[in-house]
Amino acid sequence: MNNIVVKLVIVAVLMFGFGYALVPLYEAFCRVTGFGGKTDIIEEAMALEAPIEDRDVAVTFTSHSHTSLPWEFRPVTGALDLKVGEVQDAYFYVKNYSDRPITGMSTFNVTPPRAGFHFKKTECFCFKKQVLEPGEEREMLVRFMLDTELPDDVHELTLSYTFFDNEKFAGQ
Amino acid sequence: MTNLPLKFNKIVKFLTVFGGLLFSAAAFAEYRLNFQDPVTQTARDIFSLHMLIFWICVAIFVLVFGVMFYSIFKHRKSKNYEPAQFSHSTKVEVVWTIIPFIILVAMAIPATQVLIKMEDTTKSDLTIKITGYQWKWGYEYLDSGIDFYSTLATPREQIDQFDTERAVPQGENYLLEVDKHLVVPSGRKVRALITANDVIHAWWIPAFGTKKDAIPGYINELWFNVDEGKEGIYRGQCAELCGKDHAFMPIVVEVVTGEQFEQWVAAGGSFENVENLATETEPPVETNETALIEKLVPAANAAETEPETEATSSVTYTMEDLMATGEKVSATCVACHGAEGKGIPGVFPAIAGSAMAKGPVEDHINIVMYGKPGTAMQAFAAQLSDEEIAAIVTYQRNAYGNDTGDVVLPSDIQAKRK
Amino acid sequence: MSHAATAHDDHHDHDHHMPTGFKRWFMSTNHKDIGTLYLIFSLTMLFIGGAMALVIRAELFQPGLQFVDPHFFNQMTTMHALIMVFGAVMPGFVGFANWMIPLMVGAPDMALPRMNNWSFWILPFAFSILLLSFFVPGGAPAAGWTLYAPLTIQGGMSVDMGIVAIHMMGISSIMGAINVIVTVLNMRAPGMTLMKMPMFVWTWLITAFLLIAVMPVFAGAVTMLLTDRHFGTAFFNPAGGGDPVLYQHIFWFFGHPEVYIMILPAFGIISHIIPTFARKPLFGYSSMVFATAAIAFLSFIVWAHHMFTVGMPLQGELFFMYATMLISVPTGVKVFNWVTTMWRGSMTFETPMLYAIGVVFLFTLGGLSGLMLAITPADFQYHDTYFVVAHFHYVLFSGAVMAMMGGAFYWLPKWTGHMYNETLGKIHFWLTAIFFNITFFPQHFLGLAGMPRRYADYPLQFTEFNQWSSIGAFGLGISQLLFVYIIVATVRGGKKATKEVWDNPEGLEWTVPSPAPFHTFDEPPVVK
């Protein structure tokens, strides 16, 4: 009888752990399926070798800066038409207009979600802490490409960045 | 602990209201039993799918309970009905597993077709970015750069009915009216990119058949294409719990013809400007602006949509002016800090009698302009004009019994902007 | 049943004389006493949660804010749900399990009596903490019972108190579930094979496995919320790079099986009542068992139908739509089985039977609106409206709660030794059923016409149906006082109940005297 009790307790503890395991599992699941518009990171060399297809995709850039973060943040690169397979650079302008240094961090995703997996970036400022001094301005780079597996009916794609105040987060 | 919300006199009041129900019926707007009339192909598809599934469900319900009630009336002991003793029949059980399965397949096919149509993201004609805030919506037309906030326009006195003496009768579009409409053309595919600033919201226009969550930090996408000939005003509401004023951030979309839309865009996002340009009266900028500010009774965020005013620095401001403007434009503050500046203890700090509002002016201006990190206190520098910030700070330092006598001028704010 | 015969029952350390007062109730290891405690606790919580519902309905009687401010309104909706789900429905079924499972499987007590005591006595403390959160600055949790991030991250310290309370009740449920599993697997009377177990025991066995599988996941989710709030992690907070949608996935991975945790034991109760009053064996016993297991299994793969609007790829939407629709097959089998059990029976309609028929009828209505909600494109319109509120009250109130009421009337004579007043019981049923429908049926229309849920105030076109709903809610609330009166009166006295109580019912619980003595089945019965 104690045997069953011990087993059931172990199952309960494992399921608690499973709750936590869902975090990386979800991450992995999103990267594989593009769920939630999560994207993939690849080596630059690989990206440059990729074949270029004669298929245009319109890419829109949007940005938002959380209202408790006194930063100006906007895309510099306007909407552009991009060939599938082509490596492209896009710049974002960011400025701290307050009178104190602030750490910010940006989230990122693309929509439609099914395009996410086929969106490969080689360089990105997202999910990294950025410290801006008072009045400091900066241009930030995203280098990316769309792989040839991108579904045919995706004609438009949006990249979205949101900067948040990151002061209270200890690690990353 | 906040004061007890259910007081005895309120219970009494409830009973009186309850009694008055019969007499008040005339005041109500028309009720509905089903979806609002669809004005997009998507909404029509959803509507017919909904009705199809509904009738299938009704049929199943009638059939199953027809059998049950027949049995209840026939097979009862009071009619001396002798019970049978059968307890299983594999044949019957297999049949009633398979038939529902077939019905499900019949439902799944049209549902899948509608879904595939909805997920069609081919070429759109226009892109709008929608941002949910606590508690208002921000709209940005990515193609033309027009952007503005859209805030509830129903006056507070219609909402607060705590004191029946002071309460004002509710208007026709109670809780469904905003200061600035989202304007879109009919007959064009509008792509909406949806995100949020703080917590999850959801953007929903029932007549368009679209609902999508606005998630902070991430973007979502939906599209709609309103039929030509269906121009008009369509109203919706936030559909994901987003805190205190969840019920008070409606969505109003004004659908116009493509031509009207072009004019609206050319006039910088204002129909008044369109009219003014057409009649070729004096340059519209100045007059419209003051007119606009006056119209925006509870709204505070029109500043960004308007061109920079050069005139501000040369005008002199009296404390009365600033107090009056401050009271009007501080609706944004009131959303969290309360109409009497008392806040919500432990969640939103009070302004009345607070160290911030009675301490150094500099700190007060800073917190309004740059926010407070790690809290819900936003940085308003980009959302509000110099005049509005000055008016708000002046108002808060002298209203709510704070009475510091401080006056903050727009030039003080301008000096702080780098 | 004889006290003297087994004076020393070696592996059960309960006393063989009946303790009294403090010792009897606070230190009890007796399954019947603990069952009673659970049931009283559940009924108390039903009234506390119900009072909150009435505050909600009073505010929604008219457009405009008349009684409470929106922040307090949100506290009401949140706490109403938390208390009803974790305080009323779940402990209620554990109470039934404690009372009835040992009697049904012919065991002298639950397998782990002392743990049984702990798992009950954690609950009053957990709910005291939860209710005390009304008195901290900012008031009780107000982010909805689903506690979605990042809104919960904004909340005051009451959210932390809520999380502690959830941990405590989670531990309590897991201990209760372990107890049920061990009792059912080890302590059945000789001859009672698994496929001879009463349906209530089967549904609870499956429920217990669901509890052990998902309660820890919920505990994990709220722990992550806690560390996001205070310890600088960023699982769900986008400001640190977290993903709010991840919370919803984890929550609903728990949340959907949780729905079945609340309904499967109700199915069990119904499967006892109907055969008794139809005087006919339950139709399709083995398909009932398999249907229950199938529902439990499917409940793990449908969670994302609660979040179609978060934006997911087409394949995801299709998968979760199909999987959800599939659940209606085993659920349908159950309904058909119940109806066929009635078919050509010889029915009488005492109060428990009225409840059972009411549950089958109204639960099915809720199940069909659930099927409508499963259709993804239509769900975009229904999602987060009153249609959903109507749907889950049809499955939870007229499913779970009314099944418990029916079960209470059914076994009350066995528990107390007295027959309840049949006329009052019937009146209670009709009041409950009618007011329930006045309350919740109009909410379908409200939802379809576009009224979002969790709204403290609403536009004018929703006024009429909200008034219907509020009137119904007050009627429903007041009717439950009659329920308490009937129970108290039955405990105090009434016509003596026989051993069998009903007309030749099936099951071991009817072989012991009424009221069931403090100790039963000290010598196991033999099942043929």
Task: Give B375-401 pLDDT, tens digit per residue.
Answer: 778 778 777 888 888 888 888 888 888
Place of tokens 């049904």: C104
Contact assessment for residue C305 and residue C391, using Cβ atoms and an 8 Å cutoff: no
Tokens at B409, concatenated: 């001028």
Residues 6+ apart with CB under 8 A from B147: B138, B139, B140, B141, B304, B305
Whether the CA torsion C308, C313, C319, C321 is positive or negative: it is: positive
Active site residue C258: yes
Active site residue C13: no
What is the H or E stretch that residue A132 is in? strand A129-132
Contact assessment for residue B211 and residue B44, using Cβ atoms and an 8 Å cutoff: no
Displacement of CA B356 from its chain's centroid (Å): 31
Report d(CA C23, CA B17) in Å as an integer: 51
Residue of C384, C387, C389, C469 best to disrupt the B interface, most CBs of B under 10 A: C384
Residues on chain C touching A171 (C-beta within 8 angstroms): 232
Active site residue C458: no
B221: nearest CB among A64, A68, A112: A112
Query: Which chains contact A through at least 3 pairs of Cβ atoms less than 8 Å apart?
Result: B, C
| pLDDT at B156 (0 to 100) | 85
Q: Is the pLDDT of residue B301 over 50?
A: no
Within 13 Å, how many C-alpha atoms sit on residue C182's CB side? 22
> Which range has the worst mean pLDDT, C135-144, C381-390, C443-452?
C135-144
Place of tokens 């208002």: B136
Active site residue C305: yes
Tokens at B62, concatenated: 């009638």
Q: What are phi and psi of A143, to 5 degrees?
A: -115, 130
Residue of C153, C166, C250 best to disrupt the A interface, most CBs of A under 10 A: C250
Do the chains contact at A16 and C313, CB–CB below 8 Å? no
Place of tokens 């990119």: B193
Which tens digit of pLDDT belongs to each residue from C58-94? 999 999 999 999 999 999 999 999 999 999 999 999 9
Report d(CA C73, CA C81) in Å as an integer: 13
* Nearest-10 Cα torsion for B40, B41, B47, B48: 160
Place of tokens 């979806």: B35
Query: Which chains contact B through at least 3 pairs of Cβ atoms less than 8 Å apart?
Result: A, C
Between strands A156-165 and A129-132, the pairing is: unpaired
Residues on chain A touching C235 (C-beta within 8 angstroms): 23
| pLDDT at B337 (0 to 100) | 83
How far C314 CA lies from chain A's nearest CA (Å)?
8
| pLDDT at A46 (0 to 100) | 75
Which tens digit of pLDDT belongs to each residue from B155-190? 888 888 887 777 788 888 999 999 999 999 999 999
Which tens digit of pLDDT belongs to each residue from B66-87? 999 999 999 998 887 888 888 8
Contact assessment for residue C339 and residue B64, using Cβ atoms and an 8 Å cutoff: yes
**pTM reported for the whole predicted model:** 0.87
| pLDDT at A1 (0 to 100) | 64
- Confidence tier at B4 by pLDDT (50, 70, 90): very low
Residues of A near B (CB-CB distance < 8 A)? 36-37, 60, 62, 64, 66-70, 72, 79, 97-100, 102, 107, 109-112, 135, 153-156, 158, 160, 162, 164-165, 167-168
Do the chains contact at A15 and C214, CB–CB below 8 Å? yes
Active site residue C510: no
Active site residue C303: no
Among residues C111, C128, C118, C127, the alpha carbon closest in space to that of C34 is found at C118
Do the chains contact at B373 and A98, CB–CB below 8 Å? no
Q: Which is catalytic among the residues C173, C341, C470, C514? A: C173
Count chain A–chain C contacts defined by CB atoms under 8 A. 110
How far A103 CA lies from chain B's nearest CA (Å)?
10
Q: Is the pLDDT of residue C329 over 50?
A: yes
Do the chains contact at C452 and B176, CB–CB below 8 Å? no
How far is CA B191 from each of CA A156, B58, B125, B256, C324, rounded to the nearest angstrom? 10, 36, 8, 16, 30
Q: How large is the ipTM?
A: 0.90
Report d(CA B371, CA C250) in Å as an integer: 32
Within 13 Å, how many C-alpha atoms sit on residue A73's CB side? 26
Query: Is C427 buried (19+), middle (13-18) or exposed (0-12) by CB count in 10 A?
Result: middle
Residues on chain B touching C68 (C-beta within 8 angstroms): 5-6
B17: nearest CB among C61, C346, C381: C61
pLDDT above 70 covers a percentage of chain A that reads 96
Q: Where are the beta strands (DSSP E) in B134-262?
A: 136-141, 147-150, 182-185, 190-196, 201-205, 210-214, 220-224, 232-236, 251-256
* Nearest-10 Cα torsion for B278, B281, B284, B290: -120
| pLDDT at B86 (0 to 100) | 87
Do the chains contact at A36 and C315, CB–CB below 8 Å? no
What strand order describes the sheet that includes B182-185? B182-185, B251-256, B232-236
Contact assessment for residue B184 and residue B126, using Cβ atoms and an 8 Å cutoff: yes
Residues on chain A touching C147 (C-beta within 8 angstroms): none
| pLDDT at B138 (0 to 100) | 94
Residue of C153, C166, C174, C187 best to disrupt the A interface, most CBs of A under 10 A: C174
Angle, CA of A11, C81 and C212, to the nearest 5°: 10
Contact assessment for residue C524 and residue C106, using Cβ atoms and an 8 Å cutoff: yes
Q: Is the pLDDT of residue A26 over 50?
A: yes
Contact assessment for residue B346 and residue C156, using Cβ atoms and an 8 Å cutoff: yes
How far C1 CA lies from chain B's nearest CA (Å)?
32
Written as one string, the DSSP assignment of B81-127 is PPPP-----HHHHHHHHHHHHHHHHHHHHHHHHHHHHHT-----SEE
| Surface of C (146-205) touching B: CB under 8 A | 148, 150-151, 154-157
Report d(CA A162, CA B354) in Å as an integer: 32
- Confidence tier at C209 by pLDDT (50, 70, 90): very high
Active site residue C80: yes
Whether the CA torsion C102, C107, C108, C114 is positive or negative: it is: negative
Query: Which chains contact C through at least 3 pairs of Cβ atoms less than 8 Å apart?
Result: A, B
Residue of A56, A64, A102 best to disrupt the B interface, most CBs of B under 10 A: A64
Identity (one letter) of the amino acid at C444?
Answer: H
Report d(CA C394, CA C397) in Å as an integer: 6
pLDDT above 90 covers a percentage of chain B that reads 42
Do the chains contact at B219 and A111, CB–CB below 8 Å? yes
Which tens digit of pLDDT belongs to each residue from C428-458? 999 999 999 999 999 999 999 999 999 999 9
Task: Report the residue of chain A nearest B367, measured CA to CA.
Answer: A68
C460: nearest CB among B60, B174, B210: B174
Tell me if the bond preceding C141 is cis, omega within 30° of 0: no
Packing angle, helices C31-59 and C402-416, rounded to 10: 140
How much is the average pLDDT of C231-235? 88
How far A128 CA lies from chain C's nearest CA (Å)?
9
Q: What are phi and psi of B124, to 5 degrees?
A: -105, 160
B379: nearest CB among A68, A155, A168: A68
Do the chains contact at C346 and B14, CB–CB below 8 Å? no
Active site residue C271: yes
A107: nearest CB among B218, B378, B418: B218
Residues on chain A touching B380 (C-beta within 8 angstroms): 67
